[in-house]
Structure 1
């Protein structure tokens, strides 16, 4: 699904040139579930931003779904983000005055999709994350874990092929974080969604199939998770 070859990213911090990424080689197959780990400053977020077409590499090749993307126009990159990728962040980014259904529908409004189809897709996405009975609750009426489920449903509503998650359990307690990971595992196994997540938590990384460890902007090593953590029932 995606391939990076010798991807580097440099940026200026004052008068200093910082090498955030140094020749990253990475490939992710369709249906994979990859966790990216590393200490602060290792390049995790920079790498995720490049994979998500939110940033461009300074050098190297990036191919997404057989398409070279590192030199595409800003408008074409925006199209790829909208059509191909779903994003989940540590902060839920829900609008407080809208209920769960309306929050999930927002990306479809921007696409110009009609109300009936928006309602159908949003309801299906909320059902997929176990919130079928909470569609009319506002964020203030939901727990942190439920708010993150709404955010996941919003990332699914556009029917993406790739989910990118940046510290998706960072603001949650361990039990709730495990439940969120169970949802990711279910989406990965049952719907074949490709998932790439950044996390600093070892136990969260082990819900995936592979772990990519970064250090100082380079891939230090890659590990296969021999036995995925047991799924938690989604209530």
Structure 2
């Protein structure tokens, strides 16, 4: 059984008389431990697809299963549970709370789980250590570089031990060297911890850190490219 399985997924947006078919009959299987990149020009449906995979949006038609559970008809509360338990998110903008230090930012998802303070602290420290920031836990975001802030965001995404890490342009706000460092962390998480990674990127060199690249065009999968790394 695939960890993520999308079958004939279509997403249509309507604005008055205007009908936009953002995704058209997408069929996609992602196995546990995969590292997948999604590429395509602006308007190709990349972010829409990632939002559906991340249970942030619902398909207009088709079915989506995550870990064997169909989600397209779940209510908002159940979808929130799925996101909190199974999925970690990393975005181009780091979305760190400026008044909280790195460790407190990382602990946030665990607060929503109702986890006790001591266990939250232990997990947050461990997550920060896994991205090389074990000594920076009490620094505010303003005291960290862009690359360090993104690493805090990654630590926050993995602190709940998700099975899937979704990344939307994770290196888009970073210089090339820092972007490579972030991709090295992604590879480590994928290879050593077995976290399944799905990233959207417009950068060819970043996409090639994945095992496969799904090229989207006009809401459809145009081709699938195997990457020899």
TM bin, normalised by shorter chain, reads over 0.9
CA distance in 2, matches of 1:62, 1:104: 29
Partner of 2:222: 220
Partner of 1:184: 186
Partner of 2:50: 48
CA distance in 1, matches of 2:70, 2:105: 32
Partner of 1:231: none
CA distance in 2, matches of 1:207, 1:13: 37
- 1:50-65 equivalences under 5 Å are 50-65=52-67
The structural deviation recorded for 1:164 is: 0.3
1:114 to 102, 109, 116: 116
- 1:194-233 equivalences under 5 Å are 194-227=196-229
5+ unaligned residues in a row in structure 1: which ranges? 228-235
- 1:86-125 equivalences under 5 Å are 86-125=88-127
CA distance in 2, matches of 1:111, 1:65: 20
The structural deviation recorded for 1:128 is: 0.3
Aligned residues: 227
CA distance in 1, matches of 2:15, 2:94: 29
Question: What is the TM-score with the length of structure 1 in the denominator?
Answer: 0.95
The structural deviation recorded for 1:156 is: 0.7
The structural deviation recorded for 1:14 is: 3.7
Q: Secondary structure at the match of 1:42?
A: coil
Question: What is the TM-score with the length of structure 2 in the denominator?
Answer: 0.98
**CA RMSD, Structure 1 to Structure 2 (Å):** 0.6
Q: Secondary structure at the match of 2:90?
A: strand
Partner of 2:13: 11
Answer yes or no: is 1:165 the counterpart of 2:167. yes
> Deviations 1:182-209 (Å, cap 9, x if unpaired)?
0000000000000000000000000111
CA distance in 2, matches of 1:204, 1:33: 12
5+ unaligned residues in a row in structure 2: which ranges? none
Q: Secondary structure at the match of 1:158?
A: coil
The structural deviation recorded for 1:74 is: 1.2
Q: Secondary structure at the match of 2:59?
A: coil
The structural deviation recorded for 1:13 is: 3.0
Q: Secondary structure at the match of 1:131?
A: coil
CA distance in 2, matches of 1:110, 1:2: 24
Q: Secondary structure at the match of 1:62?
A: strand
Partner of 1:232: none
